[in-house]
Amino acid sequence: MKEKILAEIQKIEEQYEVKICLAVESGSRAWGFPSKDSDYDVRFIYVHKKDWYLSIDQKREVIELPINELLDINGWELRKALRLFRKSNPPLMEWLHSGIVYYQAFSLVDKMKMIQDQVFMPQSALYHYLNMAKGNFRDYLRGDQVKIKKYFYVLRPVLACLWIEKYNTVPPIEFQTLVEELLEEGLLKQEIRTLLERKISGDELNLEPKVTAINEFLEKEIIRIEEYTKTLSGQKVDLTPRLDDLFRKVLDEVWS
């Protein structure tokens, strides 16, 4: 499959006259709980030629390929990526730390990682993951019968919040790492491990009776995290000049 993805990346570079700096897996495969029918969610950062940036017109900053049952591929242009990086955008941070890297070139990613701690805004990340958890819990996990596989789409953002609260750093993208690092041994952890084993083994995990231990944990933590976020400050040093410089250096590097 990697060969097919690399072939698609090469086609994108040729068709759009761009260079790709990073292409990674960003979905359930990167999170560590793929299903047997999971597609490949490929995300990438790309750079146009210098003349593309010397224009009075606003141009599209996203490349999206048609989605099929196997591949979902889209990417962000470098300036867009750096603007989102400046805002500590959680999905972008996850791209930078994906454990499944299909392609990486040039120095962009290494330079972004060098300053990520200065960019990272805990409050912004907490709100992102909290809102994700609240929305998925509301949509999927109320009632006596629930969509069991949706537990992962609430557990993962809740655990990401707990990581940020504990370590004040970008949370790991892998679900298993969050579980093992943050949860004590006991019923809750065992219930989560059982669901994870079932999902990875190919169980459909459709409507089933809710798992009380997990539901109670999620309800309690969502309420507590929401209160915790109100105590944080969102102020951060403006790194725009440094990111401007990074943009220019990467542009020179890629097209020298």
With 80 as the cut, is the pLDDT of residue 236 above it? no
Confidence of residue 38 (pLDDT cuts 50, 70, 90): confident
d(CA 218, CA 166): 17
Res 204: pLDDT: 72
Q: Which residue has the tokens 């109320």?
A: 142
Q: Which residue has the tokens 């440094």?
A: 242
- Say whether 71 sits in a helix, a strand or coil: strand
Check residues 143 and 98 and name the one with the higher pLDDT: 98
**The CATH number, out of the four listed (3.30.460, 3.40.710, 3.30.720, 3.40.1710), of the domain defined by the range 2-116+236-255:** 3.30.460
Contact yes or no for 211/195 (Cβ under 8 A): yes
Q: Which tens digit of pLDDT belongs to each residue from 187-231?
A: 999 999 999 999 888 887 788 999 999 999 999 999 999 999 988
Using alpha carbons only, what angle is made at residue 161 by residues 232 and 37, rounded to the nearest 5 degrees? Answer: 150
- Say whether 180 sits in a helix, a strand or coil: helix
d(CA 239, CA 114): 13
Q: Report which of 17, 14, 116, 21 is spatially closest to residue 78, judged by C-alpha positions.
A: 21
Confidence of residue 76 (pLDDT cuts 50, 70, 90): very high
With 80 as the cut, is the pLDDT of residue 36 above it? no
- In this prediction, residues 239-250 reach a mean pLDDT of 97
Res 90: pLDDT: 96
Average pLDDT over the chain reads: 94
Q: How many CB atoms lie within 10 A of CB 118?
A: 11
d(CA 230, CA 226): 7
Res 37: pLDDT: 76
With 80 as the cut, is the pLDDT of residue 234 above it? no
Res 205: pLDDT: 76
Confidence of residue 233 (pLDDT cuts 50, 70, 90): confident
Residue 221, both tokens: 């933590």
Find the range with the poorest average confidence among 18-27, 43-52, 229-238: 229-238
Q: Which residue has the tokens 């093992």?
A: 180
Buried b (16+ CB within 10 A) or exposed e, 26-54: bbbbbbbbbbeeebbbbbbbbbbeeeeee
d(CA 63, CA 81): 12
Contact yes or no for 33/154 (Cβ under 8 A): no
Q: Report which of 159, 125, 142, 130 is spatially closest to residue 31, judged by C-alpha positions.
A: 159
With 80 as the cut, is the pLDDT of residue 235 above it? no
d(CA 68, CA 93): 26
